[in-house]
Structure 1
Amino acid sequence: MLPLPTIVHLDADAFFVSCELSLKPELRGTKCAVGGRERGIISSASYEARACGVYTPMPTKLALKVCPDLILLPHTAGIYSKKSREMFDLCETLTPVVQRNSVDEGYLDIGPCGFKTLPEIERRVRALQQRIWDDLQIPTSFGIAANKLVSAIASKARKPRGFTVVPPGEEAAFLAPLKISVIPGVGKKSEERLAASGIRLVSDVLTRSERELKNLFGSGWEEMLRTARGEDDRPVHTDHEDAKSYSVQETFGEDISDLAEIERIAKRMIDELMPAIRGDGKRVKTMTVKVRYPGMENSTAGRSLAEATDLEAPFYPLVQPLLKAAWTQRRPLRLVSVRFSGVEEKGSQLEMFAQTDEKKRRLAAVMDKLNAKGQAGIVRHGHQIQKED
């Protein structure tokens, strides 16, 4: 009996835009994007807008030039983390082995489910894809393969609403005709450098000698060769109910170097994470900011509050100094992430201003509920939530 592919990668399509369109379904099929009009960038664009040349993180002013009829949608605080939690909760109705990589993508290991045939696997995963749409109005793409590497590449092969299965043993054949840029870590500059050496497709790696690969990839040549063959033995790491940290990250379609814009994105991440922390009945004490350069080098900086909290405001002033501390090389960034740790159970608060903070906490809880319903008229850290009729 042939082995079955048991690793599934879920990748939500234009996630931020899809979340907003779940509140504004009348805008489906239009050229729209999530982003700020003033000193802003596009953080997510519909596929109709992408067809006109709008990409992430294009400056909003430029996006409006290339697509004059672009509809700009402001960020709705709270909805992204809510939709993400609900999406992965649905995944856990299929298998308990779910790894939540970020708000919009993750892995499922369906090996423990006991499926006997490939058609059965396809049917069950397609049913999950349909349920995410029916329940949440979030379109998704799925890749199914024998490992994480190939399933992740497969999920992006036919977006949006893609569904790609790579049977075991066909990993190398699936990857061979694809552009070398599908390999994780091969960015635009690396792609250009490799193209100058004649490597444009994944299959080109397999035709090179060991000496040539060493010259091109240095000490990482063997890993690149294994990757080109579609080999990967990383397991799917499950989430634990008692979270030790909360994090979210954003990878930019194009590298970005605007400090003010990066700061705005990081503060939006705080707005996304705190409702989840409050919803779990937790408080956090430490915030860590991570930046990643185009060459995949990471740098981090963190700071702790005197007391754990589940409110956004105490962490806002830490964003700029942490960014400056982490972003030591003033080069454009590929990724930024915010992580909260030092998780504590919510208990009696002894600080001097407990009563004042409790009022803020009750207000925050009300805001979370309104955000979850798509209601508006409220601003948290300058993010206007638009009222829905």
Structure 2
Amino acid sequence: MSRLPTIVHLDADAFFVSCELSLKPELRGTKCAVGGRERGIISSASYEARACGVYTPMPTKQALKVCPDLILLPHTAGIYGSISRKVFDLCETITPHVQRNSIDEGYLDIGPCGFKTIEETERRVRALQKRIWDELQIPTSFGIASNKLVSAIASKARKPRGFTIVIPGEEGAFLAPLKINVIPGVGKVTEVHLQQQGIRYVKDLFELTETKLKELFGNGWLDMLAMARGEDDRVVHTEHEDAKSYSTQETFGHDISDFAEIERIAKRMVDELMPKIREDGKRVKTMTVKVRYPGMENSTAGKSLNEASDLEAPFYPLLSQLLKAAWTKKRPLRLVSVRFSSVEEKGAQLEMFTQTDEKKRRLAAVLDKLNAGGRNSIVSHGHQLRGERD
């Protein structure tokens, strides 16, 4: 085992709220949350709001009851993915070995960087943490350890703006006093069951007999003990998996039964997703529409193009068909979502009208740039002229 910890876990603090506050810094320090009013859910809450009992995913209506002065912030289209990419781009200024695990967390392998001391390691990673704040106004927490498991637990130990280093050889001592739910796979139900067995902390596992461990965890009991000791041999994957789908959804402030309005909202979702697809250098072939009724019952319908595309226009005609196919019950809707899948690399165009599509693509790229950051300064389609998302 290395003398120095070489695996870093980055975890952005209250990421969606932090992104919104980067646009509205005057709201820092307030009780605020990102989510839809009335019929939506809270997707991210500031730590001030969390102290009042607001959590994710809590229905907005309930959040406003536990925190009447909660400031609700609507989602800003396009900003989260853009800021996430900038965060990880900054990580790659330290090391090329960066795994983008999700939009708001990932791993860095700093082993090849040749840091000589724990002090140098801390100084360089703290400088990264500061740079992410200075340039993007995104607060982050970092954990540094000998492996992925312990670094991920360490990054969450002192949030927000946490910074925790676990020296190699001290993994077990670090984990021992922590609550059992820090172990991956121990969710709320499992935690309650283990508490009933007198197991509240990681260290309690080592008081159990082999028979009891097998009774509680079956064939996975050895893996459980290994995690409790802080053992993990997973490596940092520098080539993160390509997106397998792109999706967005909207929960309405009130149930909607107007087909034209639902179709307009769905087209707006296509407009929101397609710039991200183009930016990633991808094309998509399949579109799926999901609707949800007031009783939380869902229905879906999907269809594929003959050729994958990164333009909005080929998918617009499908929306009406898919909405009618999914919306089989003549009842108002609570939610609609659009998802693109069958993702392909952009590659060479094989369509008959290549030049025409390339002209459209160049125009789309210009509009994407003008609309970057959620400003929506340029309206390119008629369905964008009416209404605002909550």
- TM (normalized to structure 2)? 0.77
Q: Is the 8 A contact 1:144 1:154 kept in 2?
A: yes
Q: Deviations along 1:133-192, whole A, 9 cap, x unmatched? A: 111110000000000000000000000000000000000110011111111111111110
Which residue in the other structure is 1:95 paired with?
A: 95
What is the match of residue 211 of structure 2?
A: 211
What one-letter code is carried by the residue in structure 1 that aligns with 2:363? R
> Which whole-Å deviations, capped at 9, do the CAs of 1:77-130 have from their partners, x for residues lacking one?
100000000000000000000000100000000001011110000000000000
SS in 1 for 2:8: strand
Deviations 1:336-357 (A, max 9, x none): xx78454232554737899699
Q: Which residue of 1 aligns with 2:346?
A: 345
| Aligned residues of 2:246 and 2:341 also touching (Cα < 8 A) | no
Secondary structure of 1:192's match? helix
Q: CA deviation at 1:366?
A: 1.9
* CA–CA separation in structure 1 for the residues paired with 2:247 and 2:165: 27
Letter in 2 for 1:166: V
Q: CA shift at 1:309, angstroms?
A: 1.9
- Gap change, CA 1:128 and 1:271, over 3 Å in 2: farther
Distance 2:386 2:191 in 1: 38
C-alpha contact (below 8 Å) 1:180/1:202 kept by paired residues: yes
Q: Which residue of 2 aligns with 1:221?
A: 221
Q: Quick one: distance in 2 between partners of 1:197 and 1:267?
A: 52
Q: Residue type matched to 1:43 in 2?
A: S
Corresponding residue number in structure 1 for 2:71: 71
Quote the sequence identity (%).
67
Alpha-carbon shift at residue 11 of structure 1 (Å): 0.2
Q: Deviations over 1:316-346 (max 9, x none)?
A: 969999x9xxxxxxxxxxxxxx784542325
Q: Secondary structure at the match of 2:83?
A: helix
Query: For 2:227 and 2:267, how far apart are their aligned partners in 1?
Result: 35
Give the equivalent residue in structure 1 for 2:185: 185
Corresponding residue of 1:149: 149
Tell me what 1:275 maps to: 275
Q: Matched residues in 1 for 2:322 and 2:48: separation? A: 34
Q: Distance in 2 between matches of 1:381 and 1:176?
A: 57
Mapped partners of 2:145, 2:155: distance in 1 = 10
Distance 2:180 2:164 in 1: 19
Structure 2: 5+ residue stretches without partners: 249-254, 256-265, 290-300, 327-338
Give the whole-Å Cα distance in 2 for the aligned partners of 1:344 and 1:232: 33
Is contact 2:288–2:322 with CA below 8 Å preserved after alignment?
no
- The one-letter code sitting in structure 2 at the alignment partner of 1:129 is Q
CA contact (8 A) 1:9 1:106 kept: yes
| Residues 3-29 of structure 1, C-alpha deviations (whole Å, 9 max, x = no match) | 100000000000000001111111111
1:109-124 map, 5 Å? 109-124=109-124
Amino acid paired to 2:367 = V
Closer/same/farther in 2, CA of residues 273 and 145 from structure 1, 3 Å limit:
farther
Task: Describe the shift of the 1:64–1:139 C-alpha distance in structure 2 as closer, same or farther (beyond 3 A).
Answer: same
The residue type equivalent to 1:93 in the other structure is T
Q: Report the AA paired with residue 238 of structure 2.
A: T
8 Å contact from structure 1 (residues 77, 383) kept in 2: no
Q: 1:77–1:380: 8 Å Cα contact kept in structure 2?
A: no
8 Å CA contact 2:35–2:74 kept in 1: the answer is yes
| Off by >3 Å, runs of 4+ in structure 1 | 243-250, 266-276, 286-289, 301-305, 311-321, 338-342, 346-349, 351-365, 373-386
Q: Secondary structure at the match of 2:371?
A: helix
Structure 1, residues 248-288: CA drift from partner, whole Å, max 9, x if none?
A: 799xxxxxxxxx9xxxxx99998776434312433233579
CA distance in 2, matches of 1:136, 1:87: 8
Task: Report how far residue 244 of structure 1 moved.
Answer: 4.5
Q: Distance in 2 between matches of 1:143 and 1:277?
A: 32
Distance 1:13 1:303 in 2: 38
Partner of 1:42: 42
Pairing of 1:353-364 with structure 2 (within 5 A): 362-363=363-364
TM norm structure 1: 0.77
**Native 8 Å contact 2:275 2:368 kept in 1:** no
For structure 1, which segment, 307-316 or 9-18, has the greater mean C-alpha deviation from structure 2 after superposition? Answer: 307-316
Report if the CA contact (8 A) 1:97-1:238 is conserved: yes
Q: Alpha carbons of 1:183 and 1:148: their partners in 2 closer, same or farther (altered >3 Å)?
A: same
Given that 1:6 and 1:111 are in contact with CA atoms closer than 8 Å, whether structure 2 keeps it comes out as: yes
1:120 match: secondary structure = helix
Give the 5 Å matches for 1:1-389.
3-239=3-239, 244-246=242-244, 274-285=274-285, 304-311=304-311, 314=315, 340-345=341-346, 347-348=348-349, 350=351, 362-363=363-364, 366-367=367-368, 369-372=370-373, 374=375, 384=388
CA distance, structure 2, for counterparts of residue 80 and residue 311 of structure 1: 21
| C-alpha contact 2:303 2:322 (8 A) present in aligned 1 | no
Deviation string 1:202-228 (CA, Å, 9 cap, x unpaired) is 111121111100000111111111001
Q: Does the aligned pair in 2 maintain the 1:23–1:374 contact within 8 Å?
A: no
Q: Distance in 1 between matches of 2:386 and 2:210?
A: 54
The structure with the larger Rg is 2
Q: Which runs of 5+ in 1 are unaligned?
A: 251-259, 261-265, 290-300, 324-337
CA shift in 2, pair 1:319/1:360, >3 Å: farther
Distance 1:116 1:380, change over 3 A: farther
Amino acid at match of 2:155: S
Mapped partners of 2:6, 2:387: distance in 1: 41
The aligned amino acid for 2:43 is S
Q: CA deviation at 1:199?
A: 0.7
Secondary structure of 2:58's aligned partner: coil
Higher mean Cα deviation, 271-280 or 160-169?
Answer: 271-280
